[in-house]
Structure 1
Amino acid sequence: MLSRVAESLFWMSRYVERAENTARFLDVNFNLLLDLNRITPTENPDCWIALTVATSDPEKFESLYGEYSARSVTDYLVFNRSNSNSIISCIGLARENARSIIESISSEMWEQINNLYHLLQTMRPENVQNDPFSFYREIKNASHLFQGITDNTMARSQGWDFIQVAKYLERADNVTRLIDVKYHMLTPQTSREENGLISSVDIIQWMAVLKSCSALEAFKKVHLSRIKPENILEFLILDKTFPRSIHFSIGAAKEALWRLSGNSTQKNLSNSDRLIGKMEAELSYTTVEDIMERGLHDYLGDIKQRLQKAGEQLHLVYFAYHTPEIEPQDESKALPFTGVAGGRANWSQAQQQQQQQFSLRKNRARNNA
């Protein structure tokens, strides 16, 4: 498979997963505010701050909008094209990647991503403000349909494995960021009690964390007792069977990577194989007590860095154009995925280069017209 095709399959899958996660986070946040009877945006800006920290770059948001509210955060995370992690940007870039490799995906996959793209072009901020729940449900269902079509119309070849690696790396990254932000926002409240009111609010907030990962029903089937932060952390980080836990996602990414490299015997592993395999092995023997003893923020920060490093090595092994004689001795100088300090990692000069290429194509098309 050409590296260009593999990279486009990778980013197509990653952008669709990112758009779905953002839609789910926003949907759950609106429901949470209704449950807490605090739907007035200016009354509770912390709920909106958490979304921008978990899904995007808060510094860029503040430079564009200034204040956190339902209207401003929705516009930034859904419609703002200058935000590369907004839903409309992600679906647009997923479509461009799919269009560039249309011969390598099924016609049903192309139709689904193309239909979703054109649906978003017809949407306006007032549509979302009037009925946010229907809009976010449409995005989530479209993503699920795209993934189901992919699973049922693509051969289990290298292309399918690149799609799986991208999906699960993105999923692990999203869950890691969500837990890191939400846990430290809720912990100070958990430590206080005022006539039992705070504990009730905390339960609603923690249920929202589970809903943000589509995990509430699955969690209740495993943990029948009262919802506790420790049980939630154990389920979302360490559970081996739930498809949106960090452990499951990293394990699934590892299996797809090893199929790509043909290293099921664990011989001649590449750096990306080794990094993912080591993370999966460590998670298999880690307990929630180990995590809390180390410090949750430090532990999750380490996972984010290692996911980014695995992505960098994946790029070098499969996507980068190598000229061994002139490659720098310092490996870090060759890595394209730099991320954004303090915000969500874009993982990508590759992402930025794609955006620039797509913008150039559109400008040329307009000029020719």
Structure 2
Amino acid sequence: MLSRVAESLFWMSRYFERAENTARFLDVNFNLLLDLNRIATLESSNCWIAPILVSSEKACFEGQYNEYSAQTVTDYLVFSRNNPNSIRSCISLARENARSVIESISSEMWEQINNLYHFLQSVTPQQVQGDPYSFYKEIKNASHLFQGITDNTFSRTEGWDFIQIGKYLERADNAARLIDVKYHMLNPENERALDPVHGSVEIIQWMAVLKSCSALEAFRKVYLSKIDPDNILRFLVLERTFPRSIAFSICSAQEALWAISGSTRNRYANNVDRLIGKMESELSYTSVEDMHYKGLHEYLKELENGLMRIGEQIHLLYFAYHTPKIEPSDLSDSLPFTGLGGGRAGWSQSQQQQ
């Protein structure tokens, strides 16, 4: 397989997953405000800063907007062309990647991604503000349909493996960021800094964390007792049967990488297989107590940095057209959306500009 084709399939999948994750988080945020009967304070910055923190776009956002509100956050994360991680930008980039390898994907895949692209071009901010539920549902359903079409029309070749790698690396990174931000904001130690969270209100907030990963029903089937923050952490990070947990995503990405390289559990063929194998093994023997002992924020940051290095090594091994330095001097120059401070790598943009 040509490296150009592999890279386009990887980023097509990753950008689609990113758009769906953003849509789900914004949708849950709107519904959370309804559940908490906080419509009158919809413009409160505390309600809308979390989606920006999850996407690591705080500095960029504050450079363009003066306040955190439903209107400004929606405009930035849905419509802004200056934000490469907005839903509109992600779908445009996914479509461009699909177009560049249109001969390698099925006509049904191209039709679905093209339909969503044109739908987004026709939607106005006023429509989203008036009916956010219908809009975000459309984005999520379009992503599910695209993944279902891909499952049923794409041959299980190396191209399929690169699609899976992109999807699951993005999913793991998004889950780590979400847990880091929301767990910190709901931590009792921070009650003085934010609105107090007690009783039923706290339960609603933690349910929103699960809904942001489409995990509420699956969580309830495993943990029948009262919603507990440690159980939520255990489920979203370590549960290997749930397809949106970090552990499941890492295992799935590892299987796809091994299918390409021929690595096994006892022998790795390259550095990227070593890195992801090490991460999978550490997750296998990690407990919630270990995370707290190390510091949850530090643990999740280390996980995000590990995903960043895996993405960099995938590029160097499979996509690069030259031989750059193996480790970037500045981590912010690594994988898009996973770089510290939301940095975007030059190499990730090279093929987008073709």
**Bin of the TM-score, shorter chain as denominator length:** over 0.9
What residue is the counterpart of 1:350 in the other structure?
347
The change in CA–CA distance for 1:134 and 1:43 in structure 2 (over 3 A counts) is: closer
Unaligned runs of 5+ in 1: 359-369
Describe the shift of the 1:225–1:181 C-alpha distance in structure 2 as closer, same or farther (beyond 3 A).
same
Larger deviation: 44-53 or 265-274? Answer: 265-274
* Paired residues of 1:56 and 1:85 also in contact (CA < 8 A): no
Choose which of 307, 313, 328 in structure 2 pairs with 1:332.
328
In the TM superposition, residue 262 of structure 1 has moved relative to its aligned partner by 1.3
Structure 2, unaligned stretches of length 5 or more? none
Pick closer, same or farther for the CA change 1:191–1:84 going to 2, 3 Å: closer
Map 1:1-369; keep pairs closer than 5 Å: 1-41=1-41, 44-188=44-188, 198-264=198-264, 266-322=266-322, 328=325, 331-332=327-328, 337=334, 343-346=341-344, 348-355=345-352, 357=353
For 2:172 and 2:231, locate their aligned partners in 1 and report how far apart those are by CA, in whole Å: 18
Contact map agreement 1:190 1:198 (CA 8 A) in 2: no
Aligned to 1:332, the other structure's residue is in SS state: coil
Please give the secondary structure, in 2, of the residue aligned with 1:102.
Answer: coil
- Offset at 1:333? 5.8
- Are the equivalent residues in 1 in contact too, given 2:80–2:86 (CA < 8 A)? yes
CA contact 1:276–1:310 (8 Å) conserved in 2: yes
Between Structure 1 and Structure 2, which shows a larger proportion of helix residues?
1
Give the Cα separation in 2 of the matches to 1:105 and 1:352.
Answer: 21
1:345–1:245 distance in 2 versus 1, CA, 3 Å: farther
- Per the alignment, do residues 287 and 146 of structure 1 end up closer, same or farther by CA in structure 2, a change over 3 Å counting? same
- Is the 8 Å Cα contact of residues 210 and 216 (structure 2) preserved in structure 1? yes
User: How far does the alpha carbon of each residue in 1:208-240 deviate from its partner, in whole angstroms, 9 at most, with x for none?
Assistant: 000000000000000000001000000000001
Q: How far, CA to CA, are the matches of 2:165 and 2:237 in structure 1?
A: 18
Q: Distance in 1 between matches of 2:308 and 2:23?
A: 23
Identity of matched residues, %: 66
SS of 1:52's equivalent? helix
Give the counterpart letter for 1:291 in structure 2.
M
Report the secondary structure of 2:103's partner residue.
Answer: helix
Amino acid at match of 1:134: S
Give the deviation of 1:40 after TM superposition: 3.4
Residue 126 of structure 2 aligns with an amino acid whose one-letter code is: E
Deviation at 1:198, TM superposition (A): 1.5
Q: Considering only aligned residues, what root-mean-square deviation do their CA atoms show, in Å? A: 2.1
Q: How far did residue 39 of structure 1 move?
A: 2.1
**Counterpart in the other structure of 1:363:** none
